[in-house]
């Protein structure tokens, strides 16, 4: 398996050199995300507890989800992904992002079990604490809002396997995910399984 990853890294390096002129997201968009993330991290603990976290809202299938900005490092366009043989269908592969090789998880496939994957409006959420650690594909990104921690309620039913990643649901039906839980769950990294992806394909 080490030979496979070595070859994937070589291919990603070649892709990065060939596509330097294509940015995954505009500098303005990236700065906006970084500003919101900094604001979320800088807020006093008491204020954050009372008002709830700043979140980015997005779509996965027909459902709306959100992630606290403290765990979102960047929102980018869907990248070119190199598949990793022998992994689960929702593990799309790895991508080259700003000098880093990141695992890419397709939340559409993971939550809906639909192998068609993310939509044409798909976006990449780059997650991490102090550095980029994981990339997740979502169908569409809506906006950045603040949610009330007190307003979150538990869900009667959750997407398959997602119960450990959910903080709660807002009154408007948005499911708020736990960024720390996503980043510490080994299931979201390369595992043996059925993969139907093709190498070097765009993640849409």
pLDDT tens profile 141-194: 999 999 888 888 887 766 556 778 899 999 999 999 999 999 998 888 765 444
| pLDDT for the residue 100 | 87
| pLDDT for the residue 8 | 55
Structural domain harbouring 128? 2-202
pTM for this predicted structure: 0.69
Give the pLDDT band (50/70/90) at residue 203. Answer: low
Q: How many domains does the chain have?
A: 1
Of 58, 62, 64, 63, give the one whose Cα is nearest residue 78. Answer: 58
Q: Rounded to an integer, what distance in angstroms lies between the CA atom of residue 183 and that of residue 165?
A: 10
Compute the mean pLDDT over every residue in the chain, rounded to the nearest whole number.
Answer: 76
| pLDDT for the residue 196 | 44
Q: What is the CATH number of the domain that holds 174?
A: 2.40.50.180
Show the tokens assigned to 117: 């994957």
CA atoms within 13 A on the CB side of 111: 26
Tens of pLDDT, residue by residue over 28-62, are 555 555 555 555 445 544 444 456 779 999 999 89
More confident residue, 19 or 137: 137
Q: Are 73 and 33 in contact (CB under 8 A)?
A: yes
3-class SS of residue 125: strand
Give the pLDDT band (50/70/90) at residue 103. Answer: very high
Averaged pLDDT, 128-145: 93
Backbone φ, ψ for residue 6 (5° rounding):
-65, -45
- Strand segments, DSSP code E, in 112-160 are 123-127, 134-138, 140-146
β-sheet bridge partners, residue 59: 64, 140
Show the tokens assigned to 167: 């903080």
| pLDDT for the residue 38 | 54
| pLDDT for the residue 45 | 47
| pLDDT for the residue 9 | 56
Averaged pLDDT, 78-97: 88
Show the tokens assigned to 155: 């869900």
Of 127, 18, 114, give the one whose Cα is nearest residue 75. Answer: 127
CA-CA-CA-CA dihedral for 60, 174, 182, 114, to nearest 10:
-20
The answer to whether residue 105 scores a pLDDT higher than 50 is: yes
């Amino acid at each position: 398996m080490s030979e496979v990853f070595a070859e994937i890294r070589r291919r990603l390096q070649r892709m990065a050199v060939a596509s330097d002129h294509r940015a995954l997201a505009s500098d303005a968009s990236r700065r906006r995300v970084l500003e919101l993330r900094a604001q979320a991290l800088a807020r006093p603990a008491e204020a954050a507890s009372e008002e709830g976290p700043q979140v980015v809202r997005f779509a996965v299938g027909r459902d709306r989800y959100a992630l606290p900005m403290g765990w979102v490092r960047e929102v980018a366009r869907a990248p070119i992904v190199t598949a990793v043989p022998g992994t689960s269908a929702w593990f799309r592969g790895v991508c080259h992002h700003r000098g880093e090789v990141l695992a890419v998880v397709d939340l559409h496939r993971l939550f809906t079990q639909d192998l068609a994957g993310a939509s044409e409006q798909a976006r990449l959420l780059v997650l991490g604490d102090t550095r980029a650690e994981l990339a997740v594909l979502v169908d569409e990104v809506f906006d950045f809002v603040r949610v009330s921690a007190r307003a979150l309620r538990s869900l009667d039913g959750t997407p398959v396997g997602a119960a450990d990643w959910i903080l709660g649901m807002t009154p408007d039906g948005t499911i708020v995910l736990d960024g720390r839980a996503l980043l510490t769950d080994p299931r979201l990294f390369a595992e043996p399984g059925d993969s139907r992806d093709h190498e070097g394909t765009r993640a849409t």
